[in-house]
Amino acid sequence: MVKITVYGAAKEIGRSAVLIEDKDTRILLDCGLKIRPKQPTIPPEGIDEIAKDLHGVILSHAHFDHSGYIPKLVRLGYKGTIHMTHPTKDICAVLWRDHLKIEGDRHWTEDNMYDTLYQISTHYYDRSFKIADGVTATFFDAGHILGSASILLNWKGQLIFYTGDINTFATPYHDSNKYPQLEDISVVISEATNGLRDLPNREKPNLAIVDAIYNTRRNSGITIIPTFALGRGQEIEAILAREFIGSNFKIYMDGMLLKMNQIYRSYFTEYWVSKKIMNWCKDHRIEVPFDLRNFIPMNRNIADNLDTFRKMIVTEKKPNIILSTSGMLEGGPMHSYLLHGATKPENLIAISGYQVEGTIGRSIVDGERNIQLFNWSRNRKGQGTKIEIKAKVRQFQFSGHAQRNELIKMLKAINSDKYIFVHCVEEAAQSVQKEFDRKKTSYIPKAGDSFNIEN
């Protein structure tokens, strides 16, 4: 008998962690932190107690809600291997280092992080590897971000499939997700992030954002695109590359996005990104989409005083597009662009991702126009500058996750009659669950719930 315990991402998004065990073996899938606006991050509850006794850890992908607490396992005495794909390791190294700058050693230290990196073993898709005696794993391309994987466990003959985060739509860099076409999968542990959303077809947000940029330009405005550094950022770069190649639009890229671009560059091979984007680059004699001549990285090579340069590009009357972190407007160079650019009615703030409640991004999407920039241009009292947003604000429906109909189609196509839904609010899981016939059992666990799976 195998027991599955859901430690996190139960009826919520954030702090993913699932333990699979029998009497001899304990394997943890993912171990993330939940990021909360203006509050400290929180780990999966109860995970500290089991860290030392694990026999293996497998990471689906680098996003912080899946990877952020892994160095803590090492701090608590976990000495075994941590399995992931090659890009996931490189991205984690950047994200973990960045996290130390933001939150310090609240959960783990720099030393813990380096120890963790030593314990990592990297793997390709579609090739099984050993985790423990009698247990092997295979990564399937999840189509979500660079290196993202779903995990198929062969547990002493029993098959367990964990989707991690998946995208059923092909995006510019990645094909749609893959899943095992096998008989008798004992249980599927699936994300249901978009269980309440049927998104328009994939081309719609691409066309909409491009249209909005042209409209803004017609009114002599500049488009500011706050974006996530990893995945969404590169996706938008590819959309802009396709549209604005050879044009007089200049695309300025800034913040953490630049570091992630370099990792995308080092894995720009047919194995890790789609053939389509490789061919497009080959046709245009460039290595990666963001190498086009009108794509400009905002680094020290471009100006000694970056902030003065930022002010210039967001206020000059030229066809400029600014692509910068942070994606939810919570900090980063984005605040410099907002300070100088958001107060002009001709400009556009094009929101390109989901905005968590409590973030500045969410508040302006909901109509708030007076915001406080809290880590940029502090006034004498040490508070951030208050600004009134006069630029237009529009949100575009991009998503890195399987949308409702496609998710249901995929889950039905997998040969299993047991499903556990994680990484979603309860209503989203219920909305997917009600499409299943009675022969299938499905659960929406709360944190700490366990399930026994008989052979």
Whole-number minimum distance, CB 61 to Zn ion, in Å?
6
User: 């999407």: which residue's tokens?
Assistant: 365
Closer Cβ to Zn ion, 149 or 225, answer by number: 149
425-444 footprint of Zn ion as x/- string (CB under 5 A) = --------------------
Q: Where do the DSSP E strands lie in 167-319?
A: 187-191, 223-226, 250-254, 295-297
Distance CA 9, CA 263 (A): 27
116-155 footprint of Zn ion as x/- string (CB under 5 A) = ----------------------------------------
34-73 footprint of Zn ion as x/- string (CB under 5 A) = -----------------------------x-x--------
Closer Cβ to Zn ion, 83 or 232, answer by number: 232
Whole-number minimum distance, CB 451 to Zn ion, in Å?
21
Which range touches Zn ion (CB under 5 A), out of 69-77, 121-129, 164-172, 432-440? Answer: 164-172
User: 């206020």: which residue's tokens?
Assistant: 315
Q: Which residues from 365-404 bind Zn ion, rule CB under 5 A?
A: none
For every residue of 352-390, DSSP letters joined together read -S---TTSHHHHHHTT--EEEE-SSS--TTSPPEEEE--
Closer Cβ to Zn ion, 289 or 353, answer by number: 353
Whether the Cβ atoms of residue 314 and residue 322 lie closer than 8 Å to each other:
yes
Closer Cβ to Zn ion, 92 or 224, answer by number: 92
Distance CA 374, CA 377 (A): 8
146 exposure class (CB count in 10 Å sphere: 0-12, 13-18, 19+)? buried
Whole-number minimum distance, CB 417 to Zn ion, in Å?
26
Closer Cβ to Zn ion, 148 or 416, answer by number: 148
User: 């996290």: which residue's tokens?
Assistant: 99
Closer Cβ to Zn ion, 15 or 123, answer by number: 15
Which range touches Zn ion (CB under 5 A), out of 21-29, 93-101, 159-167, 220-228? Answer: 159-167
- The site for Zn ion, by CB under 5 A, has a size of 3
Any bridge partners for residue 351, and if so which? Answer: 395
Provide, for the chain, the percentages of residues in helix, strand and coil under a 3-state DSSP scheme, each rounded to the nearest 5: 30, 25, 45
Whether the Cβ atoms of residue 81 and residue 121 lie closer than 8 Å to each other:
yes
Closer Cβ to Zn ion, 167 or 186, answer by number: 167
Whole-number minimum distance, CB 142 to Zn ion, in Å?
9
CA 98 to chain centre: 15
Phi-psi region of 123 (alpha: psi -120 to 50; beta: other; left: phi over 0): beta
Whole-number minimum distance, CB 263 to Zn ion, in Å?
15
Closer Cβ to Zn ion, 59 or 185, answer by number: 59
Residue type at position 209: I
User: 């990645």: which residue's tokens?
Assistant: 174
Whole-number minimum distance, CB 423 to Zn ion, in Å?
6
Closer Cβ to Zn ion, 107 or 401, answer by number: 401
Closer Cβ to Zn ion, 165 or 330, answer by number: 165
Residue 165 binds Zn ion, judged by CB under 5 A: yes
Any bridge partners for residue 224, and if so which? Answer: 322, 349
Phi-psi region of 55 (alpha: psi -120 to 50; beta: other; left: phi over 0): alpha
Whole-number minimum distance, CB 176 to Zn ion, in Å?
16
450 exposure class (CB count in 10 Å sphere: 0-12, 13-18, 19+)? exposed
Which range touches Zn ion (CB under 5 A), out of 110-118, 161-169, 320-328, 331-339? Answer: 161-169
Whole-number minimum distance, CB 374 to Zn ion, in Å?
26
Whole-number minimum distance, CB 65 to Zn ion, in Å?
4
Tokens of 410: 């995929």
Whole-number minimum distance, CB 66 to Zn ion, in Å?
6
Backbone angles phi, psi at 405, to 5 degrees: -60, -45
In the complex, the residues that contact Zn ion under the rule CB under 5 A are: 63, 65, 165
